Amino acid sequence: MKSRKHLNFPNKEEYVTILLVIGIVIGYLFGARPTFTTEQSYLRAFQKEIKDCGAAEKLALKEVEQGELQLIVMSGFDSDTAGMPYAFYQKLSKEYGVKLVYLYNCVPMLGQECYNEQMYLAINNKFGREHISKLYETLHVAHYGPR
């Protein structure tokens, strides 16, 4: 009697891996795409739309006209959430209604500084330059002591 060769079927872990890969492929083929947060979607659109400083300034002015005050804030990977400038931005957000869009990158986007400059002007116009400067100074002194 001839012996049959047994096929080496995958073990349980290999079955799970194979099924997972097949599921991912089928999901991708039938339209499952990664979803983005509102911030990520905004930043993606910003990067596509903004080609120079002038375009960033125009976008900021348009948003200010629509009643939106927001800043694109660099957030390092090891941010100190108890220190400055994090405390200043949180105060602007919670008490002044300034929306913060966090950029989790160490390299600023093209036009980011021009955009934020226009937003800072609008924030100062709304709340007063002296008021915002004093707020920053007060928080700075509270965190680091007098200059």
The confidence score (pLDDT) of residue 86 equals: 83
Classify residue 145 as exposed, middle or buried by CB count within 10 Å of its CB (0-12, 13-18, 19+): exposed
pTM of the model: 0.71
| Nearest residue to 45 (alpha-carbon basis) of 32, 31, 56 | 56
Listed in sequence order, the residues at least 6 apart from 20 whose beta carbon sits closer than 8 Å to its beta carbon are none
CB of 143 closer than 8 Å to CB of 134: no
pLDDT above 70 coverage of the chain, percent: 85
Q: Which amino acid is at 57?
A: E
pLDDT tens, 70-117?
999 987 544 566 678 888 888 999 999 999 998 887 788 999 999 999
Query: In angstroms, rounded to a whole number, what is the distance separating the alpha carbons of residues 128 and 112?
Result: 23
Q: Which amino acid is at 123?
A: I
